[in-house]
Amino acid sequence: MKNRIHILAGLVMALFGCSGEPVLPAVEDVLKSIQTSVKEIEMEVGGSFDVEFSVVQTGYVFDYNVFSRDCQVHLECYDGTEPTAFSLTGISKCARPGLYKATLTDNQTAREYDVACRLTLTAGQDKVETAMFRVRKVARGGDKEKAVATGLPVITLNTAGPILSKTEWVSGQISIDGIDAYPDLAEMACEVRGRGNTTWMWPKKPYTLRLESKTSVLGMPRHKRWVLLSNFIDRTLQRNLLAFHIGATLSNLAWTPRYVPVELVLNDIHYGQYLLTEQIRVDDNRVNITEMEASDNAGEAVTGGYLLELDFHFDNEIQWKDHGIPFAVKYPDEEDITPEQIAYIQKYVAQAAEALYGDDFCDPEKGYAAWIDTDSFVEYWLVNEVMGNHELGNPGSVFMHKDRGGKLVAGPIWDFDFGTLSYKVRPDMQTSLVNISAYWYNRLFQDPAFRAKVLARFEQMLPALEQIPDFMARTEKDLQKSAIVNFSIWNPADDGIINDDETLTYGAACERLRTIFRERLNIMSTALRENL
């Protein structure tokens, strides 16, 4: 009996110590290990696989958001490098404490692979890792045609060499799998070069295509010239697409580029999702104005057609400034345009500006209305304002055109991936109109008749604009699988935070875009009705 009492007393002393206070077991703050029972994974084309892993120290807190810069869980090959054929695309908690699920996704950049890899968890100077497991993908019959299976058409482009320049064309071959939703394009010769200004400097490059002959592509009207927009910094992959949709379906602009989201496989490497769109060119199916001849140097013939761009980069061959605004001629081409044609269009722009900034600028015969197509400037402004496009104020990628015997017409719209529907780029977009002082608009809005036109047209468009968030939700669903693959290849946050959604998940970024769009309509409704 005495022995039992002594044992019990010893246990009490051990528990409470000399002070009588309870002595609790020390909680280790050093990470012990992580474990997985997975030995081998076989990936499907474009598929995903969930790898369960457990943290032995079940209460250990760590950042497992793979979209965060501070994420502590990584996937690495046996040699410590990051795999390129597949990626870690998500981590989530399981019901059991200490158990997690890591999602690995095939990047569709290789037909087959067999790679030994592991999951690692870092905490300060500590690093623990699972045992190695193999990730395999075996090419089977027909896989070459199904190598990119996201539900979007697949452009396969093979070139004779790397595409290193925005001016030098590289020859190649192109084909398109329309995935039964669009017409296929049989392999044909083409040329490719880079394009863009800031966008050309980013890791995911945009390209211009020149086909060997005028051809209909994915159901769009025949032409040689096409553009592959990379949308590198747009976590939603919707900004350019959304602007084009609004311009084409809700506005009365003469022409807005058509588009189709696609997957690009360039020289056997999947480059992710691109937006294939019509390039801004003079053509019956695009900017439909009279095509100039070298002999069109006087009289009615010299009056058009012309395609102009306002661009602060000021890097065109034929360019000038009028009232500090940079103008450039995009058509006729620099090698075709004559001195007489250059002199004519420069003088016309100057006369339009003189009328706009003159004392009689509101007069329908003496003022700006004699020189510009007012309705088109209203439509153009509304599309840019709804999207909160700050490029209109720079200005950059701002187009206008003039047909033979006609006035200057605003459009087409272009370039909406940078800063649109973003409060970071334009904080004032949360409370007010952002383009009321853009280039000529600073004067146009001083005319009560122009202000009345803007308000009346906005009121007409508003019911349809209020349905746009539903279109955005459908688009998110259509692009979701492609987005997962695209962002496993590219991280828009790698080049800084511009749109302020670069670190969000795809779904969160899309929801944020819809929210800002709805708020934008409310802000515009209030501002236009109260201030105009």
Q: Report the range of poorest mean pLDDT among 7-21, 185-199, 200-214, 302-316.
A: 7-21
What percentage of the chain reaches a pLDDT higher than 90?
A: 75
Radius of gyration over every alpha carbon of the chain, rounded to an integer in angstroms = 30
How much is the pLDDT for 139? 63
The secondary structure of 467-497 as a DSSP string is THHHHHHHHHHHHHHHHHHHHHH--GGGG--
Q: What is the pLDDT of residue 401?
A: 98
Q: What is the dihedral of CA 321, 324, 330, 334, to 10 degrees?
A: 20
* Interatomic CA distance for residues 235 and 347, integer angstroms: 43
Lowest mean pLDDT among 3-17, 45-59, 451-465, 515-529: 3-17
What is the identity of the amino acid at 337? I
Residue 422 has a pLDDT of 95
- What is the per-residue pLDDT across 240-264, written as a single tens digit (0 to 9) for each? 999 999 999 999 999 999 999 999 9
Closest C-alpha to 389, from 427, 428, 424, 415: 415
Determine the angle formed by the axes of helices 468-489 and 506-531, rounding to 10 degrees.
Answer: 140
CB-based contact 291:282 (threshold 8 Å): yes
DSSP string, 216-229: EETTEEEEEEEEEE
pLDDT for 147 equals 56
CA distance 385 to 509: 21
Q: At residue 513, what is the residue type?
A: L
Residue 232 DSSP symbol: T
The mean per-residue pLDDT over the stretch 322-349 comes to 97
pLDDT given for residue 12 in this prediction: 39
Looking at per-residue pLDDT, the higher value among 26 and 57 belongs to 57
Q: Would the pLDDT of 381 be above 80?
A: yes
Using one digit for the tens of pLDDT, what is the confidence trace for 443-456?
Answer: 999 999 999 999 99
pLDDT at 491 over 70: yes
What angle separates helix 448-465 from helix 506-531, to the nearest 10 degrees? 140
Rounded Cα gap, residues 112 and 131, in angstroms: 23
Sorted by where each begins, the domain ranges of the chain are 34-137, 154-278, 299-531
Across the range 277-285, mean pLDDT stands at 98
**Tokens at 451, concatenated:** 């202000």
Question: Which position has the token pair 């500090």?
Answer: 324
- The torsion angles phi and psi of 380, rounded to 5 degrees, stand at -60, -45
Query: Which residues make Cβ contacts (< 8 Å) with residue 185, sequence separation at least 6?
Result: 174, 175, 176, 178, 215, 217, 218
The sign of the dihedral angle between the CA atoms of 383, 386, 391, 393 is positive
Say which amino acid occupies 427.
P
Taking Cα atoms as reference points, which of 144, 142, 141 lies closest to residue 156? Answer: 144
User: What is the pLDDT averaged over residues 270-296?
Assistant: 97
Q: Is a pLDDT exceeding 80 seen at residue 23? A: no
The answer to whether the CB of 316 falls within 8 A of the CB of 329 is yes
SS3 112: coil
The rounded distance, in Å, linking the Cα atoms of 179 and 394 is: 40
CATH T-level assignment (fold) for domain 34-137 = Immunoglobulin-like (2.60.40)
| 29, amino acid identity | D
Local confidence band at 190 (pLDDT 50, 70, 90 cut-offs)? very high
Angle at 379 between CA 238 and CA 451, to 5 degrees: 125
**pLDDT number for residue 29:** 60
Alpha-carbon distance values, 236 to 53, 65, 269, 307 (Å): 30, 18, 23, 31
Backbone angles phi, psi at 42, to 5 degrees: -115, 115
Instruction: Answer whether 292's CB lies under 8 Å from 341's CB.
Output: yes
Q: Given this model, what pLDDT does residue 144 score? A: 42
pLDDT at 142: 44
In whole angstroms, give the CA distance from residue 240 to residue 259: 9
Mean pLDDT of 483-488: 90
Residues 103-157 pLDDT 10s: 999 887 777 788 889 999 987 777 899 988 989 887 654 444 445 789 999 999 9
pLDDT, position 527 = 94
Q: What is the pLDDT of residues 395-415, one digit of tens each?
A: 999 999 999 999 999 999 999
Residue 84 clears pLDDT 70, i.e. is over it: yes
SS3 call for 13: helix
Task: Single out the residue of 528, 523, 381 nearest to residue 515, CA to CA.
Answer: 523
Contact between 479 and 264 (Cβ < 8 Å): no
Contact 439, 393 (CB under 8 A): yes
Tell whether omega for the bond before 448 is within 30 degrees of 0, i.e. cis: no
What pTM does this model have? Answer: 0.77
Average of per-residue pLDDT across 203-220: 97
The answer on pLDDT for 30 being more than 80 is: no
